[in-house]
């Protein structure tokens, strides 16, 4: 299983029935492919749609029906479309249960940088700042390292998206939470040891005695 699929499958275990969930571009969009059986989730896209469905079959894409990243989607029965004012009212008003976002860096206090690399042309922040600030729970989906350098760092060198700490970071190696504002190893992926996660991580990790090695049950949504 490739790293992106592994990350998306693990995050899908955090979904609860009836949730209103926003998925960012990149790895987060894969989460929709792994919704657990018996769980019904409403996916929201900040360009103005609730009820996004799977990627359309070849030849069936509609140019005007896309996610926030401009990629074609389908609309499930009962879906609704609306303007940006309503969409960001939902986000800023605290009505999203969960957002899953990609990340460039997360520091050991849980602060996310995911919108700009200095010196590179980027389209802008989009809705990331609003989502990190307004969603009830924030999960970052990203690979553990880029070009051999840990993306979970002591201090972000890239511009922050928000000063609000995220709730979870899920990588192909581990699940890391931030209770009391400190990066805490909650779980390692199948076949990965605690020592391997520590070695691959720049940030200083808190290692509880009850770390779930090799994957475990989902973290408690209510206690997060």
Residues noted as catalytic: 46
Report the DSSP beta bridge partners of residue 22: 44, 99
CA triple 140-144-146, angle to 5 deg: 110
Whole-angstrom distance, CA of residue 51 vs CA of residue 58: 20
Nearest alpha-carbon partner for 172 in 159, 160, 157, 190? 190
CA triple 31-178-137, angle to 5 deg: 45
Asked whether the beta carbons of 221 and 204 are under 8 A apart, the reply is no
Asked whether the beta carbons of 166 and 112 are under 8 A apart, the reply is yes
């Amino acid at each position: 299983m490739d790293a992106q699929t592994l990350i998306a499958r693990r995050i899908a275990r955090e979904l609860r029935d009836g949730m209103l969930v926003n998925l960012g571009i990149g790895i987060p969009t894969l989460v929709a492919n792994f919704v657990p059986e018996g769980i019904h989730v409403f996916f929201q896209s900040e360009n103005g749609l609730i009820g996004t469905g799977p990627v359309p079959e070849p030849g069936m894409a509609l140019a005007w029906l896309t996610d926030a990243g401009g990629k074609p989607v389908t609309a499930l029965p009962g879906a609704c479309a609306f303007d940006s004012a309503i969409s960001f009212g939902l986000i800023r008003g605290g009505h999203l249960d969960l957002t899953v976002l990609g990340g460039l860096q997360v520091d050991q206090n849980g602060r996310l940088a995911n919108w700009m690399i200095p010196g590179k042309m980027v389209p802008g922040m989009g809705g990331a700042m609003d989502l990190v600030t307004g969603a009830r729970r924030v999960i970052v989906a990203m690979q553990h390292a880029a070009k051999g350098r840990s993306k979970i760092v002591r201090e972000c060198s890239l511009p922050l998206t928000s000063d609000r700490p995220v709730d979870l970071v899920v990588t192909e190696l581990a699940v890391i939470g931030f209770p009391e504002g400190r990066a805490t190893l909650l779980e390692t992926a199948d076949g990965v040891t605690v020592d391997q996660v520590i070695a691959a991580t720049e940030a200083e990790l808190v290692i509880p005695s009850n770390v779930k090695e090799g994957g475990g049950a989902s973290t408690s949504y209510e206690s997060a």
